[in-house]
A and B are shown apart, each in its own frame.
Chain A
Amino acid sequence: MNHTRHRATRHAALLALTGLTLLGSAFSQGSTRTPLATQQEDEPTAAAPVRNGRLDLVSHDVGVVINNGFATTTILQTLQNSTDHALEATWAFPLPDEASLSELTLWIDGQPLIGEVVEKAEASRIYQEETKAGESSAKLDQNGFVNYRITLSPVPAHGEARVRVVYYQPLDIDQGVGRYLYPLQNGNTEDPGGGSGMDTAFWSMEREVAGSMTLDVTLKTAFPVDGLHSPSHAAMSFQQEAPDLWTGSWSGQGPVLDRDFVLLYRLSPDVPARIELLTSRYADQGEGTFMAVITPGEDLEEITYGTDWMFVLDISGSMNGEKLRVLSRGASNAIGRLRAEDRFQVILFDDGHRALSRDWLVPGTAEADDVQRQVEGLQSAGGTNIFAALDAAYARLDADRPSAILLVSDGVANAGPHEYRDFIEMARTHDARLFTFVMGNGANTVLLGDLSAMSGGFARTVSVQDEVGAHLMMARDRMSHEAMHGVRFQLEGATVTHPKRLPSLYLGQQLVVFGRYQKSGPSTLTVSARISGEDRHWTVPIDLPAIDESNPELERLYAMAAIQDLERAEWLDGRPESETRRGTIDLALAYSLVTDHTSMVVVKESRKAAYGLGSSNRDRRLREQDAAAVRSTAGNQVQVQTGGQPLAGPLGGQRAAHAPQRSQRRRNGGGGAVGPLEILALLALLLATGWRRSSSDAA
């Protein structure tokens, strides 16, 4: 599987090197054109990169609807061909790692046609045959964890092509703040130091929109929102339409495709800890689907001892430019905000690695300040040998102190060991929490997420539009408070849940679990965890509905979570790749998902029968659209449980509000302890009474 991903990555990078991010191929009527880079040698004219003035992006409209636990993103794009020939367009774009891509619609003869999902090879065959036949067609593929790629033909001479892409993604709220990211800038980066690529993102090549770009956001939440803010698009205006409904809009022209869109929304401080349960079940379905978002109210105690922080920073060639500047600034800020009792080291890596100090540094000392200055002036070069850097970091840790490694990188490992098992084995044999921060979508976030989760840390995808220092400091918050480890989720009546391995939960974090259930009616949800070695259990009543037509999107999100578990089973447990592939294809076809092994293809309705294409995705999408329309006017359908012992109290992230609770908890449990004074007193007693007498008495 991993090999396959790497092959796919390198293939994409090869495409990029030849300047085919946006590929237009001369497409005269009735003739066949070969749009892909691998075929350009046969038809050199097809390889000419398309510049503005030949195939332009006329409009790029993004609609985002955040409805409680998940977001629906709709992208509508119009391409214009200003040449005298029909063109084929191919472009790539990144998506969040947990996104489930559900729709590719191509307007043919003024009619929107929704794509259907088939196996990847079959999709290519259908597309090729359609283009040979001179018919309009489009195809959407996933290129590993790097990006998705749309190919469509033809864009008629002096004409337009219009496509719509829809994807869903689960959202969680961290410390009371929700974050939505629409990636634009950092798509599918490959590390040129590894000898294979450049930024192949469509929007990165084509930063300009000939017409306009719009962003429309709708936020609907069961809980009061304090405010919304876009650090990337500060000019975005927000309105509160209703107590539970916020909207925001932004529009721009020209070079607007070089910035990720980041939206932050903050819930009110008095929002209670809770379990939110979204369900979906239609009358014709044997099983229902649920998504549970759990925000524990358990007050996690502050840990007062210092932590050793190992910053492992990627300075490979692909980090050059804005990413490295943002990394330098963020890491320097993070170092400046360490506590006096903490210590830190910095390791820089590309092909090789080097530490900026011989030993641990205490913040505020002259040597620490010197290293901080070096971090501020980082220079990039070389490939990406993550394994060697992490290995060196683990080797320098002090076993006697709590330690954390902060790995910041933007790419896949392309030098040194880079098999999934190599990394897993390394994480298993060391005792330190690993926090990984991926800049952009170019890295295997599933691998990094698993590595981090295994160590008790977490993985984050960050944008250069984010405040990277703040993300790094979230790791400090994690280390400075107790965590919930060994989390278990049990829903009475659930037949299956994903993910199988639940990560540790930190202060203010949420747990998102997908699953299926059969028996409807009253049920019980139990979450168990270990806090500082103590087992805790929380149980709340839940109602599983027999019919719920409000959230059909959950089915795709559930399927995506199941597919990720399949991949983990292969990587972690050695499950055969063929089983993973088969399982992924089955799930993807059943739920109409674009994956590494399945693609979405659009053909005219009249041509579907020739390829045996049904309309399952179209029907599913219509169902989802109907539900979304109902949701936009109806009240929130999310089932929220806030009562009971486990969910009492405010969000874990509201530490100020928790202070009284902490002092209360000090009386609720603990232990007795003797100290050095008692030991000394006992020694005095022993000397005074004489141990020999006691032994004879015993006899």
Chain B
Amino acid sequence: MAPFIQRRGVMFARATETGLWSMRVLAALAAVLLATAASAFPGTLQLERAGLANGEWWRLWTGHLVHGSADHLVYDAGAAALLFVALKCPLASACRLLWMAPAISLALLAALPDLDHYYGLSGLLHGWAVAGTFDLWRSKNGPGAHLAAVFGIGTVLKAAWETWSGAAPFSDGLDMGGPVIHAAHLVGAIVGVAAAVATHRVRFRPAALVHTSTMRALGILVVLTLITLTIGS
């Protein structure tokens, strides 16, 4: 347990944990609400090649929040909640999503020249799962760490197989308002590997991760703005 809590006794520690969990629940609810609200405006928020060409760069982030149906949202939100609980240092880890989201969006558009639009959290979830399980493996915290590594590698292999076969037996049957873009999972997983590699030297502390993620997200934003201005002119 962290020294901060030890100094203030068990009762305070419990209270603090309760408070943390309350905050997490609230954060999770806020995220679901955000995704629900985003799903109401797919035309404005989903990832769209034509929209990006018009300078609507926010789609790089917001496209991951848009969902095509209630089922789609429930499954993605459920997976996100489980990842949040299972991963080491989830809040800090989640901060990486700030730059992973646009990276996945851009990689997806680059990898699939015919793709006009994309929506959904699952690509990002695959990336988060791979990067997060790498963190767990790095922590070398008992047998769970090894299983996490297996999970991370399994996620990459699963995504690769889905892309190769063009089918995802369990998720293809979902009503998600459109066809499943299997390659998005693989792109997400690859970006997750890149995120893990890029941050493996970063000291594993929330502040460091937050700082690194924020700075990289700002950097991407500046580059995108410059690209947009160049195209626009």
Q: Mark A678-699, 1 if CB is under 8 A from B, else 0.
A: 1101111110111101111111
Chain A residues contacting B178 (CB-CB under 8 Å) are: 532, 534, 669-671
Asked whether A533 is an interface residue with its Cβ less than 8 Å from the other chain, the reply is: yes
Q: How many B residues, CB 8 Å from partner?
A: 74
Asked whether A656 is an interface residue with its Cβ less than 8 Å from the other chain, the reply is: no
Residues A698 and B20 in contact in the complex (CB < 8 Å), given A672-B123, A679-B75: yes
A533 CA to B43 CA, complexed, in Å? 8
A686 CA to B84 CA, complexed, in Å? 10
Chain A residues contacting B180 (CB-CB under 8 Å) are: 670-673
Asked whether A234 is an interface residue with its Cβ less than 8 Å from the other chain, the reply is: no
Asked whether B85 is an interface residue with its Cβ less than 8 Å from the other chain, the reply is: yes
A80 CA to B4 CA, complexed, in Å? 109
The B interface, classified by DSSP as helix, strand, loop or mixed, is helix
In the complex, how many angstroms separate the beta carbon of B65 from the nearest chain A beta carbon?
A: 11
Chain B 1-42 residues near chain A, CB threshold 8 A: 1-2, 4-5, 16-17, 20-21, 39, 42
Asked whether B194 is an interface residue with its Cβ less than 8 Å from the other chain, the reply is: no
Chain B residues contacting A674 (CB-CB under 8 Å) are: 75-76, 79, 122, 125, 171
Residues A679 and B79 in contact in the complex (CB < 8 Å), given A534-B43, A694-B88, A695-B17: yes
Residue of B nearest to A534 (CB): B42
Count A-B pairs with CB separation below 8 Å. 170
Asked whether A676 is an interface residue with its Cβ less than 8 Å from the other chain, the reply is: yes
Asked whether A666 is an interface residue with its Cβ less than 8 Å from the other chain, the reply is: yes
Asked whether B151 is an interface residue with its Cβ less than 8 Å from the other chain, the reply is: yes
Q: Are A698 and B89 in contact (CB under 8 A)?
A: yes
A693 CA to B86 CA, complexed, in Å? 9
In the complex, how many angstroms separate the beta carbon of A669 from the nearest chain B beta carbon?
A: 4
Q: Are A677 and B169 in contact (CB under 8 A)?
A: yes
Chain B residues contacting A679 (CB-CB under 8 Å) are: 75, 78-79, 82
Chain A residues contacting B44 (CB-CB under 8 Å) are: 535
Known: A668-B117, A671-B176, A679-B78. 8 other contacts (CB 8 A): A530-B43, A672-B118, A672-B181, A673-B180, A689-B136, A689-B144, A696-B2, A698-B20
| Interchain residue pairs A-B with the least CB separation, the first 7 | A535-B43, A675-B171, A672-B122, A671-B120, A675-B170, A689-B144, A670-B179
Chain B 101-134 residues near chain A, CB threshold 8 A: 112, 114-123, 125-126, 129, 133
Chain B 79-104 residues near chain A, CB threshold 8 A: 79, 82-83, 85-92
Chain A residues contacting B59 (CB-CB under 8 Å) are: none
Asked whether A667 is an interface residue with its Cβ less than 8 Å from the other chain, the reply is: yes
Chain A residues contacting B67 (CB-CB under 8 Å) are: 671
Asked whether A611 is an interface residue with its Cβ less than 8 Å from the other chain, the reply is: no
Chain A 526-567 residues near chain B, CB threshold 8 A: 530, 532-535
Asked whether B191 is an interface residue with its Cβ less than 8 Å from the other chain, the reply is: no
In the complex, how many angstroms separate the beta carbon of A689 from the nearest chain B beta carbon?
A: 4
Residue of B nearest to A536 (CB): B43
- Point out residues on B near A: beta carbons under 8 Å: 1-2, 4-5, 16-17, 20-21, 39, 42-44, 46, 66-68, 72, 75-76, 78-79, 82-83, 85-92, 112, 114-123, 125-126, 129, 133, 136, 139, 141, 143-145, 147-148, 151, 154, 168-181, 184-185, 188, 206
Q: Are B116 and A685 in contact (CB under 8 A)?
A: no
Q: Are A689 and B82 in contact (CB under 8 A)?
A: no
In the complex, how many angstroms separate the beta carbon of A176 from the nearest chain B beta carbon?
A: 27
Q: Are A694 and B90 in contact (CB under 8 A)?
A: yes
Residue of A nearest to B154 (CB): A681
Asked whether A282 is an interface residue with its Cβ less than 8 Å from the other chain, the reply is: no
Chain B residues contacting A535 (CB-CB under 8 Å) are: 42-44
Q: Are B68 and A532 in contact (CB under 8 A)?
A: yes
A532 CA to B43 CA, complexed, in Å? 11
A533 CA to B86 CA, complexed, in Å? 33
Residue of A nearest to B148 (CB): A689
Chain A residues contacting B43 (CB-CB under 8 Å) are: 530, 534-535
> Which of A673, A676, A688 is the one whose CB lies under 8 Å from B176?
A673
> Which of B136, B177, B184 is the one whose CB lies under 8 Å from A672?
B184
Q: Are A672 and B17 in contact (CB under 8 A)?
A: no
Chain B residues contacting A671 (CB-CB under 8 Å) are: 66-68, 72, 118-120, 122, 176-178, 180-181, 184
Chain B residues contacting A682 (CB-CB under 8 Å) are: 79, 82-83, 86, 129
